Structure 1
Amino acid sequence: MLNLRVSATVLGLIVSSTALSILQTPPPEPCTGNCTFIHDPSVVRRSDGTWLRFSTIGNIAIATAPALTGPWTYQGALLPQGSTIRVRDDQELWAPDVFFANDQFYAYYSVSKSGFQGSDIGVATSKTGDAGTWTDHGSVGVPKSADYNVIDANLFRECDTCDNVWTFGSAWKGVYQTSLTKDYLKWGGEIPRQVLYNSSYPLKPQTFPSITEGGFLFWWAVGGTKYYYNFFSSGACCNAADDLQAPGDEYKIMVCRATSPTGPFTDADGKNCASENGGTLVLGSHGNVYAPGGQGVIVEPGVNRVALYYHYADRSIGYAFDQFLFGFNYLDFSSGWPVVTS
């Protein structure tokens, strides 16, 4: 948790390492243009150098920019008429995950409503990623379960001939993994297995003990060892200004790692991230930044730096859903664990 613990000694007050890391966390990098009303961003870079950002609401909003910092320009909806999937009359499209393979873009999107467990994940494809070019293929077909919610997809494929790993899940019993068919359009039949769960952060008013969601796989080699990092969001997102969670229980970005993309994942203290409430803090609330989450990770070409991108509320602006912003920071993996740096 993000408690700022202080230990008294005969020499005075020594700030704990957790508190010190929070105090030293830099603000988000600059963002210009369309940077507001952003939730659950997914960012990719096209071969022509154009950055594309996809985000929740507006039937998956698409924006483009010449650089990660912007200026971002809204281009339209990924599915202007909505999805062919129908889970309820007032459904919304959430949490896009966009991946390039087989000479086209794949966009996995959630069909749901807040607190609803009968959700589904669909997939659409496009050759360019531009608004107006997407074809909806409907549901991926992963089975429903009382253990998880079928939202927050993430497709991971390490190489052209490697097996894919498809991560999904939110709340209830957390984040699960399975795989898709080789065309990435349908569930491959592998029974989903739990890989991330953390019940440490009590929430209101939900009946489930916590939210563990948005698993995102990313590999990076450190000291000759290839690690697979599973970034996820944990805690409470999007509370009203007069009903905020206790400090440390709000949304935050956590990580666990493994030497295989399918786990088992452990945190920096060696805790299992599926069975022992494991999870190492990457980015929590600090300064004006409140409840960062909905994250993804991407290598920025040219500078070869790893960027962690996410949504967050700015305390100086407000906590309303439409006030959330797009943010990103760079990561340093030299210790073996991702550390936010400027």
Structure 2
Amino acid sequence: MKKSGIIIYEDGVYWRFTTSGNVSIATAPSLSGPWQYRGALLPQGTKIFLRDDQDIWAPSISKRDNLYYCHYSVSYIYSQHSEIGVATSTSLEPGKWTDHGAIGFPQSLRYNLIDPYVFQEDPKSPTYFTFGSFWTGIQQVEMNDNQQLIAWVGQENDIQTIVGNTTVHPAVVEGATMHKFDNFYYILFSVGQCCREENDLVPPGDEYHIAVCRSNSSTGPYIDRDGKDCRAENGGTTILASHGDIYAPGGQGVITDPETGKMMLYYHYVRRSIGYTAEKFFFGYNYLDFNDGWPVVV
């Protein structure tokens, strides 16, 4: 459905951008907090209008030269009528962002325009934009230049599925993020059902959890640890699932710890002892160990 947010570290400060509240911005001196609310990225909301009860989900922050881009989703629960919008700024501060409205991806019955993420290995490499959930799964499109991040020009057939949802009993896949580590490209995504009421929980194992696939190329094909194709065979190796009081971790991202240089996984989750709805989400993080080429939560 939606990523909890994204973490940016700059000049000794952690910035967290989260779903709802017109993209809420908070800062902290460390991942453990204390987090201080700073304001809304889009205090007047978005130029995109779908219907009155729409919400702004899954902000994703990237930077090109001296300009920040915030891509976000506009949607509502259980809808495939969504849009991806973009705002830009020379600062991460609230009140400094210019909203450009929809980026221009075409509507399609085979995907949903939510959960954006921008990946570029280095400044000379191509930029890849991923989005999507439900339906056929996670989509990827190559961007030709930075202007495409604001106003995309292309055709639907330029958009390719890289993590699929196509078997007889498919699981929901959504909220993908891409990362390079050593010689592999990794795509992390959330699988299962999120944000249910206590009287409407799915069977154990079908709730939200975090999975990974990897490839020798940023465009795939991606496979899981068992060799299953992540596009055609619903592949995906679970790296974090419900355990003990922790329930339905997902909405994940990865950041490099500036002090240790290690990669850290961050995500939202709920505590069974407190409640299950999205309003009761907690923010969690763990280091990732890549000793055998596959990320393991430690």
TM-score bracket for this pair, using the shorter chain length: over 0.9
Check whether the contact 1:52–1:64 (CA below 8 A) recurs between aligned residues: yes
Check whether the contact 1:50–1:65 (CA below 8 A) recurs between aligned residues: yes
Q: CA deviation at 1:181?
A: 4.4
The residue type equivalent to 2:6 in the other structure is S
Aligned match of 1:211: 172
Name which of 254, 257, 261 aligns with 1:304.
Answer: 261
The whole-number CA distance in structure 1 between the counterparts of 2:32 and 2:5 is 14
1:171 matched to 2:128:
no
The residue type equivalent to 1:330 in the other structure is Y
* SS of residue matched to 2:133: coil
Judged with a 3 Å threshold, the aligned counterparts in structure 2 of structure 1 residues 117 and 146 are, in CA distance, closer, same or farther, namely same
Residue identity (%):
48
* SS of residue matched to 2:279: helix
* Structure 1 stretches lacking a partner, 5+ long: 1-37, 203-208
The whole-number CA distance in structure 1 between the counterparts of 2:144 and 2:84 is 15
* SS of residue matched to 2:139: strand
Computing the radius of gyration from Cα coordinates, the structure with the larger value is: 1
Check whether the contact 2:288–2:295 (CA below 8 A) recurs between aligned residues: yes
The whole-number CA distance in structure 2 between the counterparts of 1:301 and 1:309 is 15
Aligned match of 1:41: 5
- Correspondence 1:129-148 to 2 at 5 A: 129-148=92-111
Check whether the contact 1:198–1:279 (CA below 8 A) recurs between aligned residues: no
* SS of residue matched to 2:200: coil
Could you report, residue by residue, the CA deviation over 1:169-221 in whole angstroms, capped at 9, with x for unpaired residues?
Answer: 0111110000234122122526110011246796xxxxxx5321111100101
The residue type equivalent to 2:114 in the other structure is I
- Correspondence 1:41-60 to 2 at 5 A: 41-46=5-10, 48-60=11-23
Aligned match of 2:45: 82
Aligned match of 2:288: 331
Structure 1 vs Structure 2 CA RMSD: 1.6
* SS of residue matched to 2:86: strand
The whole-number CA distance in structure 2 between the counterparts of 1:188 and 1:169 is 18
Could you report, residue by residue, the CA deviation over 1:49-86 in whole angstroms, capped at 9, with x for unpaired residues?
Answer: 11100111111111001111111111111111110011
1:264 matched to 2:221:
yes
Task: Tell me the TM-score normalised to structure 1 length.
Answer: 0.83
Aligned length: 293
Name which of 205, 208, 217 aligns with 1:251.
Answer: 208
Deviates more, 1:331-340 or 1:316-325: 316-325
Could you report, residue by residue, the CA deviation over 1:272-319 in whole angstroms, capped at 9, with x for unpaired residues?
Answer: 001011000011001111001111111111210111011111112111
The residue type equivalent to 1:143 in the other structure is P
Name which of 166, 173, 186 aligns with 2:151.
Answer: 186
The residue type equivalent to 1:54 in the other structure is F
The whole-number CA distance in structure 2 between the counterparts of 1:317 and 1:100 is 37
Name which of 53, 62, 79 aligns with 1:99.
Answer: 62
Aligned match of 1:154: 117
Check whether the contact 2:115–2:175 (CA below 8 A) recurs between aligned residues: yes
The residue type equivalent to 2:18 in the other structure is S
* SS of residue matched to 1:214: strand
The residue type equivalent to 1:290 in the other structure is Y
Aligned match of 1:30: none
Check whether the contact 1:180–1:186 (CA below 8 A) recurs between aligned residues: no
Q: CA deviation at 1:137?
A: 1.2
* SS of residue matched to 1:286: coil
For CA contacts below 8 A with separation 6 or more, give which structure has more relative contact order: 1
Task: Tell me the TM-score normalised to structure 2 length.
Answer: 0.95
